[in-house]
Chains A and B, each alone.
Chain A
């Protein structure tokens, strides 16, 4: 299953609402997760099964979608949100990732 994210990179200001999209090449039954990765660090799980917030993750992060189209939204961007974000499908092995979306703070 191919996962395609857009945009590949984006720049936004503190306080902005940011949306990253992920499209699967076939239906993945909502088994879609989102990760945040900062340089030199391991990925961190943000959202699982499309819209469930992982424990300890700020509520400004949310996920939505169904079928093949999914969205990660940051409601009010903070400086510490500068990172690369990846979607991953867990519907079928190999549990493929999207190519990543690099978010920079203006």
Chain B
């Protein structure tokens, strides 16, 4: 059974940093692209970033470029999102998701982890 379990969400002050983790199991993690998607309270889905199988390709939405870094450790079956210079606009539930092959969407999602940026 495919499982994605996010962790690391917390209350953080504006300007602060946080590192999210996503532990993957039930599939060959090193074979798949992975994504982070977020959802602000009461709002829609926003794609944040994705990363290819060996970590050599990374893409970001403009609003997080230069502040967020996506990475992975295939030996630990884990995906990460390092978030710096956080602002209130980054407050959201952050989901990790597995990207199906051939651009067939994100077929497995974690339960999400809540990041709240507030003083």
- Could you list which residues of chain A lie within 8 angstroms of chain B, going by C-beta atoms? 31, 33, 35, 37, 42-45, 48-49, 52, 54, 84, 86, 88, 90-91, 93-100
Contact = CB atoms under 8 A, between A and B. Distances in A.
A94 B61 contact: yes
Contacts of B104: 33, 48-49, 52, 90
B111 interface: yes
Interface stretch (B13-21, B44-52, B76-84): B44-52
Nearest to A32: B105
Contact of A95 (B50, B95, B110, B111): B50
B111 A37 contact: no
B107 A95 contact: no
A52 B105 CA distance: 11
A33 B44 contact: no
B44 A95 contact: no
Contacts of B106: 33, 43, 45
Interface residues of B, number: 23
Residue of A35, A43, A97, A99 with highest tally of chain B CB at under 10 A: A43
Contacts of B59: 93-94
A45 B60 CA distance: 21
A88 B47 contact: yes
A94 B47 contact: yes
Contacts of B95: 42-43
A2 to B, nearest CB: 13
B109 A100 contact: no
B45 A100 contact: yes
Nearest to A8: B44
**Sorted from nearest, which 4 A-B pairs have the closest CB atoms?**
A33-B105, A42-B109, A93-B59, A48-B104
